[in-house]
Amino acid sequence: MSRDRAAWVLPVSIVVALVLGLLPLPAAVAPLRPYWLALVVAYWVLEEPERAGLGFAFFVGLLADLAFGSLLGEQALRMVILTFILQRFRARLRFFPLSQQALAIGALLVNDRIVTTALHFILGLPSPTGLAWVAPAIGMLLWAPVFLLFDMLRLRNWRRR
């Protein structure tokens, strides 16, 4: 499988994830918005570790901070933590079936929420509440489709798992 054939997928996926994060949603469901960027970064960290490491995660997080208007460095921090955990368990995660992978991603997203809440608590900023804690579950459900879509785009065929 050649890796350079679909080099465009990575930057495009990041941009799409950022735009998805900015899209207006009705106020009632806005807290449920999945953290698209985390899903995309997780995919690249798992599948192409030579291209997507801690530096990549940091850079993408900074870009997201600029785009979303959050504190500069906040999402960079979250992305770096997420990436580090993924890299630690990468060897195991890669051979999980997709359903178990989704569970692991869900756990990571919950952890990400906890990191955000703790950070906001330390800085005295308001923390996301209520429905926002359901968002990781939605991210978990979206992992399989995202994963399969990227595999298809990148490798041009469905991989047997």
Partner 1 sequence: MPSYAGPTAARTGDIAGTLRLLAYLALAFALIVLDHRGGWLARARDQVDVAVQPLWAVAGWPGQLLETVNDDAGTRSMLIAENRRLRNALLVSGARNARLQAESADNARLRGLLGAVQRGTLDVQLVPILDIDLDPTRQRLVLDAGTGDGARVGQVVIDAGGVVGQIIETTPMHSTALLLTDPDHAVPVAVQRNGVRLVAYGTGRSDRLALASIPLSSDVKVGDVVVTSGLGERFPAGFPVGTITALRPDESRAFLLGDVTPAARLDRGRDVLLLRRAPARAVIGPVMPGAASAPGAANAQSTASDSSSAPAGATASAPPPAPAGVGREGGESSARRALQSDNASLATHPLPNPPPPERGREQKPAPQPAQSTEPRP
Instruction: Please report, as ranges, the residues that interact with partner 1 according to CB under 8 A.
Output: 15, 18-19, 21-25, 27, 30-31, 33, 49-50, 54-55, 57-58, 61-63, 66-74, 76-77, 80-81, 84, 87-88, 90-91, 119-120, 123, 125-128, 132
Unique residue bearing structure tokens 């994830």: 17
Q: How far is the CB of 133 from partner 1 (least distance, A)?
A: 13
- CB-nearer residue toward partner 1: 56 or 99: 56
Q: What angle do CA 94, 61, 5 make, to 5 degrees?
A: 50
Q: How far is the CB of 152 from partner 1 (least distance, A)?
A: 23
Unique residue bearing structure tokens 């955990």: 85
Q: How far is the CB of 154 from partner 1 (least distance, A)?
A: 18
- CB-nearer residue toward partner 1: 63 or 138: 63
Structure tokens at 38: 């985390």
- CB-nearer residue toward partner 1: 76 or 99: 76
Alpha helices, H only, the chain: 9-22, 36-47, 54-68, 74-88, 90-93, 98-123, 135-155
- CB-nearer residue toward partner 1: 72 or 98: 72
State how far the alpha carbon of 54 is from the alpha carbons of 15, 37, 49, 65, 100, in Å. Answer: 18, 15, 10, 16, 24
Q: How far is the CB of 6 from partner 1 (least distance, A)?
A: 20
The SS3 assignment for 94 reads coil
